[in-house]
Chain A
Amino acid sequence: MAQHGTVKVPDGKLVSVSLTANDRITSVRVTGDFFLEPPEARPHLERAIEGHPVDVDAATLREAIADVDARLIGFEARDLAAATMEAIA
């Protein structure tokens, strides 16, 4: 079953994550009112979150997200990591 996490960035955007968490994180979907350049990078953010064990720590997620070659506008890698942590909690 899909689990959800949402972070409202202070003075920024809303970032939502839905995912499936069994042993590992799968089926990630990232949505929100943020900006992303290039826009085609959104699935790459999802792939960066997928595959981690469900007891992953926030710093590992943040680093994996930050490795994606994209400009995050209105949110940061740590916000998307925090929304993911909420979803797997």
Chain B
Amino acid sequence: MTLRVITDGTYSEPVQQALERVLADKVAAGDIGPTLRVWYRDAPAVPIGRFQSYEDEVATDYVERHDIDVVRRATGGGAMYVEPGAVLTYSLYLPPEDVPDDVADSYVYLDQWAIDALQAVGIDASYEPLNDIVHADGKLGGAAQLRTDGAVLHHTTMSYDLDIERMLRVLRIGEEKLSDKAVASAEKRVAVMTDHTDASRATIVDALVAAIGDTFETRRGSLSAATREAARTLAAEQFDTAAWTRKL
């Protein structure tokens, strides 16, 4: 397959999450081919997993007081705190035939090139099934997937230089995890790339693009105006609404 690589475009969190759905649906419809998108955010935000409880995961008073966007994703998995320039997020939108059918295998397959890129800039990262990218110091990031009839969406977020103290104010950690000391300490152990590399975020994006080019045929591209407009519409109708984000 030839992968279209998109590394431009800054969007709000609801539009980012709406783009995921729009682009996966365009792959399913055959309107676009396999695509990689690197994200640029415009504000701090909390993407929560599709099946998570808003009240259980988010320090609601804190995010409301600080006007932090909370957005329920189309994908399962856990809540994250993200800040522009302090995290790296990328998405893959692929036809199912390009993805291993076994879910655990597919997570490794779709992130291995990124681990190669981190290794190339001196960060000793590895994969921890099902969906975590880890360093000896802790968790660097995680991935989540949505499989529809005609597409696989796989997106991954990693901490470049995240404010961990702020993250712990924004997110509630599940009581069950706190009651299990081993798990609680693991949850709190978040690794950031800047502890292990002098590379700038832009350098790491370049390393990611180079690494995906070593794994797949690639060509550069951009989102069409129609795609951006469709995402804005879907954000207004769904991802930017309390009815969606606070439904659980």
Contacts and interface: CB of A to CB of B under 8 A. Distances in A.
A35 B144 contact: yes
Contacts of B177: 8, 14
Interface string B166-194: 00000000111100100100000000000
Contacts of B56: 16, 31
A7 interface: yes
B176 A36 contact: no
B50 A39 contact: yes
B147 A42 contact: no
A34 B176 contact: no
A30 interface: yes
A26 interface: no
B223 interface: no
A30 B52 CA distance: 9
A37 B147 contact: yes
Contacts of B78: 33
B40 to A, nearest CB: 26
Contact of A74 (B130, B148, B248): B130
B53 interface: yes
Nearest to B76: A35
Given A37-B147, A39-B76, A74-B130, A6 B176 contact: yes
B156 to A, nearest CB: 14
A42 B103 CA distance: 19
B175 A30 contact: no
B49 interface: yes
Interface string A1-31: 0000011100110101000000000000111
A73 interface: yes
A35 B77 contact: yes
Interface string A35-77: 1111100100000000000000000000000000001011000
Interface of A: 6-8, 11-12, 14, 16, 29-39, 42, 71, 73-74
Given A8-B176, A31-B53, A33-B52, 15 more contacts: A8-B174, A11-B129, A16-B53, A16-B176, A29-B248, A30-B51, A32-B52, A33-B49, A33-B76, A33-B77, A33-B79, A34-B76, A38-B148, A71-B103, A73-B130
The 10 A-B pairs of least Cβ separation, nearest first, read: A35-B76, A33-B78, A6-B176, A31-B53, A8-B176, A33-B49, A37-B147, A14-B174, A31-B248, A73-B103
